[in-house]
Amino acid sequence: MSIIDMLVRVDAICKKFDKYDPSKQHKDLIINPDDHFLQLYTTMEAEIEATVKKANEAAEEKNRAAVATMNAEIRRTKAALREEIPKLERLAKKKVKALSPEDLAARPDLVVALAARIDDIPEGTMMGAKKKKKIDKSHIEIKIDSAAADEAFSSERYEHTAESAAYQEEFQHRKNKQDQNLDIISEGLSTLKNMAEDISEELDKQDPMVGEMEEKIDKATGDLTKNNARMKEVVSKIRSGRNFCIDVILLCVLLGIAAYIYK
Amino acid sequence: MGDIKHRDKENDPDRMMRKGDKLTKLSLTRWTSDWARATPYYEQAANLFKIAKKTEKAKEAHERAAMGQERLASPWHAGKHMESAGALAKELGLWNEVADFFRRASELYIESGKPQPAAEALSRGGRALEDGLPDEAVKMYLEAVGIFEEEQREQMAFDTYRSATSLYIKLQRYTDAATMLLRWGQSADKCKATSTQCKTCVGAVIVYLYAQDFKQAEQCQNDLSMIDAYFQSEQNRFAEQLLNAYREGNPEEVKHVVKSSGVINHLDHMIIRLAKQLPVGDISHLAESSGAGGEAAAEGLEEDDLT
Query: Mutation test of the interface with chain A: which of B154, B187, B195, B198, choosing the one with the most A Cβ atoms within 10 A?
Result: B195
> In sequence order, which ranges of A94-161 are alpha helices (DSSP H)?
101-120, 127-141, 149-152, 155-158
Q: Which residue of A has its CA nearest to B195?
A: A197
Looking at the complex, report in whole angstroms how far the Cα of residue B188 sits from the nearest Cα belonging to chain A.
10
**Neighbour-count burial of B129, counting CB atoms closer than 10 A to its CB (0-12 exposed, 13-18 middle, 19+ buried):** buried
User: Nearest chain B Cα to A184, which residue?
Assistant: B262
ipTM of the complex: 0.72
Provide the shortest C-alpha distance from residue B25 to chain A (in Å).
28
> Cβ A198–B262 below 8 Å, yes or no?
no
Best to test chain A binding among B154, B155, B234 (most A CBs inside 10 Å)? B155
Rounded to 5 degrees, φ, ψ at B211 are -80, 10
Residues 6 or more apart whose CB falls under 8 angstroms from that of B11 comprise: B5, B48
Interface test with B, best of A197, A206, A213, A216 (most B CBs within 10 A): A197
Residues in A 189-208 with any Cβ partner in B closer than 8 A? 190-191, 194, 197-198, 200-201, 204-205
Angle of helix B234-248 relative to helix B214-225, nearest 10 degrees, comes to 150
Integer Cα distance of A67 and A29 in angstroms: 36
B193 with A204: Cβ contact below 8 A? yes
A205: nearest CB among B155, B262, B266: B155
Q: Which of B191, B193, B262 is nearest residue A187 as measured by Cβ atoms? A: B262
Judged against a pLDDT cut of 80, whether residue A104 lies above it is answered with no
* Distance separating alpha carbons of residues A36 and A40, to the nearest angstrom: 6
For residues A32 and B230, give the distance between their C-alpha atoms in angstroms, rounded to a whole number: 112
Q: Prior bond to B279 cis, omega within 30?
A: yes
Cβ distance A201 to B195 less than 8 Å, yes or no, reads yes
B255 to B112, B261, B279: CA distances (angstroms)? 53, 10, 7
Sort out which chain A residues have CB atoms less than 8 A from B192's CB and list them.
Answer: 204
> How far is it, in rounded angstroms, from Cα B157 to Cα B136?
18
Model pLDDT, residue B297: 44
User: Is the Cβ of A228 closer than 8 Å to some Cβ of chain B?
Assistant: no
The pLDDT, as a whole number, for residue A127 is 46
Chain B, nearest residue to A196 by Cα: B195
What one-letter code names the amino acid at B95? W
Which residues does chain A have within 8 Å of residue B156's beta carbon, measured at their own beta carbons? 205
Q: Specify the pLDDT at position B294.
A: 43
Contact B155/A194, CB-based, under 8 Å?
no
What is the pLDDT confidence band of residue A128, given thresholds at 50, 70 and 90? very low
pLDDT tens per residue across span A175-216? 999 999 999 999 899 899 989 998 998 898 889 889 999 999
Instruction: Give yes or no for A213 touching B (CB within 8 A).
Output: no
Interchain proximity B195–A197, CB inside 8 Å: yes
**Would you say residue A256 has pLDDT above 90?**
yes
Q: Block means of pLDDT (10 residues each) for chain B, length 307 residues? A: 54 81 78 80 85 85 85 86 88 86 89 88 88 88 89 84 90 88 88 86 88 86 84 85 85 85 84 82 64 44 54
pLDDT (tens digit, 9 = 90+) per residue, A26-79? 555 555 566 778 888 888 888 888 888 888 888 887 788 888 888 888 888 888
Closest to B250 measured CA to CA, from B281, B287, B219: B287
Residue of B nearest to A207 (CA): B155
CA distance B154 to chain A (A): 9
In the predicted structure, residue A254 carries a pLDDT above the cut 60: yes
- Looking at residue B73, what DSSP letter applies? T
- pLDDT at position A7: 92
For residue A147, the model assigns a pLDDT of 58
Closest partner CB to A198 (pick from B155, B192, B195):
B195
**Is the pLDDT assigned to residue A136 strictly greater than 70?**
no
Residue pLDDT, tens place only, B185-213: 888 888 888 888 888 888 888 888 888 88
For residue A138, pLDDT beyond 80? no
Q: What is the mean pLDDT of residues A68-91?
A: 86
Cβ contact B191–A204 (<8 Å): yes
Nearest to A201 among B193, B262, B265 (CB): B193
Q: How many CB pairs under 8 A join A and B?
A: 21
pLDDT higher than threshold 90 for residue A135: no
Helix B13-24 / helix B55-71 crossing angle, nearest 10 deg:
40
Shortest CA gap A176–chain B (Å) = 18
Which of B151, B234, B266, B272 would best serve as a mutation to test chain A binding (most A beta carbons within 10 A)? B266
